[in-house]
Structure 1
Amino acid sequence: MKLRTKTVFMLLALMVIFVSGCVGEKKEIVLNNPGNISNYEYEVFLNESDVQMPANTTTYYLLENKTKVQVVNIVINTSKLEIYPPDTLSSSSEDNPIENFVLLADPANKTTASLQTFKELSTRNETSAINYTLTQEISRNMKVINLEFKEPVTGFIAYTLEIPATQSFAFLKPDSEFTRVVLPEGYVTGNRVFGIARPEPSYVTSDEKGRQTLVWVSSKSEDREEVIQVKYYTRSAPLFFSAAIIALLSGVGLVLLHYARSKKELEAVRGIFEFEKEYEEERRKRK
Structure 2
Amino acid sequence: MRKWIMLVFCISVLGILAGGCIDDLIPVDEETSVQDTSAYEFEVFLNNSFADGEFIPTSTFYLSDEGDTKAVYMLHNESVIDVIPLEDFSSPNQEPVSNIVILGNYTESTNVSEQHFTELAQAGEPADVNYTLSEDVIRGQKHVFIEFNEPVTGFVAFTLATPIGQDFLHVTTPPSVVRFVLPEGHTTGNPFIGKTNPEPDEVYHDSENRENLVWNNEVAQTSSILESVQKFSGENNSQIEPVPKAISVKYYSQSAPQGLIIAVAILGLAALIVFSRYHREKKRLGKIREDIESQFQTKKRRGKE
What TM-score results when the alignment is normalised by the length of structure 2?
0.67
In the comparison of the two structures, how many residue pairs are matched? 253
Q: Measure the CA separation in 2 of the matches of 1:215 and 1:58.
A: 10
Query: Structure 1 residues 225 and 251, CA, compared in 2 at 3 Å: closer, same or farther?
Result: same
Amino acid corresponding to residue 218 of structure 2 in structure 1: S
Q: Give 1:23-34 correspondences, 5 Å limit.
A: 32-34=32-34
Q: Percent identity?
A: 35
1:83 counterpart SS class: strand
Q: Tell me the residue number matched to 2:248.
A: 229
Secondary structure (helix, strand or coil) at the match of 2:123 reads coil
**C-alpha distance in structure 1 between counterparts of 2:275 and 2:130, whole Å:** 74
Deviations 1:181-240 (A, max 9, x none): 212112211111111112222222222222222222121657632322211211111111
CA distance in 1, matches of 2:286, 2:135: 78
Q: Which one is further off, 188-197 or 203-212?
A: 203-212
Residue 52 of structure 1 and its aligned partner are, at CA, apart by 9.4
Aligned: 1:131 with 2:150: no
Q: Would the alpha carbon gap of residues 150 and 251 (structure 1) be closer, same or farther in structure 2, given more than 3 Å must change?
A: closer
CA distance in 2, matches of 1:191, 1:119: 36
Instruction: Give the Cα–Cα distance (whole angstroms) in 1 for the partners of residues 123 and 250 of structure 2.
Output: 35
* Correspondence for 1:44: 44
CA deviation profile, 1:57-116 (whole Å, cap 9, x unmatched): 111111231x111110000122x22322322699x9757331111000022232322222
Tell me the distance in 1 between the aligned counterparts of 2:115 and 2:208: 23
| CA offset digits 1:13-54 (Å, max 9, x no partner) | xxxxxxxxxxxxxxxxxx942221011011111142698996
* SS of aligned partner of 1:157: strand
Tell which deviates more after alignment, 256-265 or 56-65. Answer: 256-265
Is the 8 Å Cα contact of residues 193 and 252 (structure 2) preserved in structure 1? yes
Cα RMSD after superposing both structures: 3.9
Q: Secondary structure at the match of 2:133?
A: strand
Change (3 A) 1:250 1:83: same
Moved more, 135-144 or 182-191: 135-144
Q: Which residue of 2 aligns with 1:155?
A: 154
Q: Report the CA distance between 1:56 and its aligned residue.
A: 1.5
Unpaired runs of at least 5, structure 2: 1-30, 222-241, 290-294, 296-305
> Does structure 2 conserve the Cα–Cα contact (< 8 Å) formed by 1:47 and 1:55?
no
Structure 2 residue aligned with 1:118 = 117
Q: 2:260 aligns with which of 235, 241, 254?
A: 241
Between the aligned partners of 2:175 and 2:162, the Cα distance in structure 1 is 21
Equivalents in 1 of 2:44, 2:54: separation in Å? 9
How far does the alpha carbon of each residue in 1:134-184 deviate from its partner, in whole angstroms, 9 at most, with x for none?
Answer: 322233333222223333221100001111122221232255511112121
